[in-house]
Structure 1
Amino acid sequence: MDNHFDEYIDRKGTDSIKWDAAASNVLPMWIADMDFKTAPAIQAALEKRVAHGVFGYTLTPDRFFEAIIGWWQKRHGYTLQKDWIRSVTGVIPALSAIIRALTAVGDKVLVQPPVYNHFYIAIAHCDRQVIENNLRFTDGHYRIDFEDLEAKAADPAVKLMLLCSPHNPVGRVWAISELQRIGEICGKHSVVVLSDEIHSDLVYPGRKHTPFASLNGIDGLRSVTVSSPSKTFNLAGLQVGYLFSEHNDLMTQIQQVLAAQEMELLSPFAIEALIAAYEEGEEWLESLLTYLKGNFTYLTDFCAKHLPQIEVMQLQATYLAWLDCQAIFSSSADFSNKLVQQEKVWLNPGTLYGDAGEGFLRMNIACPRPLLEEALARLAKGVATG
């Protein structure tokens, strides 16, 4: 399938957060938003819906849930049931709703920095406390500090753990043994696990995503999963997501918040896009993964040749490269700002993902290869000028 991933699409002036949040000459390699057209099947489904011409309040049909069930069975070998699933207007609002439903003001919520920055934002907005179980960075690899996790989970005030699986920004696909150990610790201490699996489809050959909900036989373990086709198929602007759990008591509590915040009513475009993605988008996704893997290879080769001071973390999943720049600067925020101001290229500072991200930059490589080449040239210039 020829998907024209090298095609440049001018997004400037389209009210794109990625492209229009900075000056027009800044090359944005920051927010997790791809610069590719979505799968043709999705575009065709949306065009058909537009042609109908009426866009009133829309029921979420059975085929929406059937598409989700079919996708998780096909891609991840996990069998869902329809009554476990709730539609939501996105993963970010779902995180806040679940935190409000399953914890009280002042409760503590575990995270594993460096980690997705909206975990911090959602916890703060809900007036809960962040408790950090920093990932251990040794010999160029990230691992979970289980001893520290056990100590933190044992605090009776810790009610919830936010798991990023696969992990953003470090690009790890957690092994089943790691997930089981998390489950054992959280089950032992009655900590509910909220697993954000929005990047679960963006896993490269040689790795396999294990749905946290698929873990069996762990005493006391309860979990909720949130996901969406938005990262996989570049649909973030359509505001579509879902959550699921087989634990009725958790779903009853969550349902009350979803109803109060009216988060389950989706647009007709969100519904049609998800169905088309999950029913007809797999071939496109496989081509995308091949292209992204090529982009990552280009990045690693470029850094090895021109930027040996930068160590590129192995990318097991996502399209977000994590760059170890500790040999270059002491403040990732200052250096990121310098790159924007002087070299006109925007990468996220590692400290956006917690203090454990100091010394790192996050780079979005989901773009046509020529844009990646230009961004790396600007990064190299920024490094050369100190």
Structure 2
Amino acid sequence: MGGNKKPVVSLSDQERFPEINDLSFLMQMKQDELAPLFNFQSGDRLNSEKLELVNQYALRIRSSKKFWEKDQLPDWLDDYLLKCKRTVPYYNSRPKSLYDQPTIDRSIVRSTPWQFVSSELNLEDLLVYQTSGTTGAAMDVLFDPVSQACWLPQLQSILDLYGINLDSRPDNVTIALVCSQKSTLTYASLSTYLKSSGVLKININPSDWKVPAHRIQYLEKYNPQILTGDPFAFMDLLALKPRITPKALVSSAMKLTEGIRKKLEEYFACPIIDTYSLTECRMIAFAENNRHRAIRPELYLEVFDKDKDILLPYGERGELVITGGNNPFLPLIRYRTGDFCQLEIENGIPFIVDLEARTPVAFYKKNHYCPTKL
């Protein structure tokens, strides 16, 4: 695990989709005359056992009404800490009680990611994602097919609150990840969890397409139900005026301003949802009434002093620290996010107030946005 590496394609489609027998729609998306110049192949690798784990996670996250109350710890936390201490090398010598645990930060996970891998895991399930390094040095994040696929139930738990249901079937595109970058991985894929429906990752940079006009024609042909991306990608997409009817746009990576939100809402006529997430643990919360509502009952949130390893009293502002998650290859205990906020608990649901994430910076080149975060 060193510097930036190009991905190596080594699996067949049958290995990527062990539970999907009919791959004809995948071939259609790839071979369409309007398709972009896809440069990667991706699959969820969910067999029947792993799919059941994703379904169980979906049931929990979509039905949870209360996470924990003020001045209380969630009931799952003690067992989680004990398991980490027993099976995860980095935590073997750590205290049993959460209150005795020091915080950790990105530099520790980046330097020794293998120390966070449980001794109980099958390394055949190991997947590695390398961050771009735009918020610091590049970092290898370890995960498995189940935790990777669980971003979909996390998304659904947000859509549920908007009354949005996904039409999951094998002949349509449920989600398109839209990028506007100089270069990025692009692919057509299928979601086993979403009943073999299509998932796209596209870059609207004209150089990624055989003909620039195909960018809009391809999107209009497949008309994804959900678009995900960052505010700059969405504004670049808006400039192309695609005739599509998404059920929602889900923004991440940087703050969505009210001005951009209104422009997107006016054109696409659907909810524009601003999410807060980390590569290390995926989605955490989404913006609701000038604050962020937490969506993960298995993620415990605390606020610490920026410079000292001191837990701050309820309601005080400091650095957001997280414990838990569902990634067995990166179990987190008091992990400093580098983001700042206050916490409020209402009816057992945590809310992140006045979130100050790492600063987004946009570079402009001939009307092309290249967003990043410091």
Q: Which has the higher strand share?
A: 2
Q: Which of structures 1 and 2 has the larger relative contact order (alpha carbons within 8 angstroms, sep 6+)?
A: 1
Q: Which has the higher helix share?
A: 1
Note whether the superposition's TM-score is higher than 0.5. Answer: no
Which bin holds the TM-score, normalised by the shorter protein? 0.3 to 0.5
TM-score with structure 1 length normalisation? 0.34
